Amino acid sequence: MSKIALRKVGSSFVATIPVDVIHELHLRAGQKLAVSKENGRIVLTPVTAEFAAVMSAHEKVLEKYRAAFQRLADV
């Protein structure tokens, strides 16, 4: 496991991904990554056409059923 440090750049923070990870995952400069939190961890997921389609469908379902999901969460 590599250790990296966060650097402040303007109003954002930057983390550098080690080159061996870039090569292993076939990432490239300019590629978009989705950022999420899971169990106290930061998860970066490469955005592919398939991933973007799934996330778009997910957002549509959330928008349509937001009130129902909120009622379920309140139970």
Domains identified in the chain, total number: 1
- Domain around 15: 7-74
Phi-psi region of 13 (alpha: psi -120 to 50; beta: other; left: phi over 0): beta
pLDDT at residue 33 in the model: 93
Predicted TM-score of the model (pTM): 0.59
- For residue 1, is it within any domain? no
- If the chain, 75 residues long, is cut into consecutive pieces of 10 residues, what is the mean pLDDT of each piece? 90 93 92 94 89 86 91 88
In a domain, 33, yes or no: yes
Please give the pLDDT value at position 53: 86
Q: At 13, which CATH number? A: 2.10.260.10
Q: What is each CA distance from 44 to 17, 30, 33, 65, in whole angstroms?
A: 10, 14, 6, 27
Within a domain: residue 46? yes
Q: Quick one: pLDDT at residue 18?
A: 92
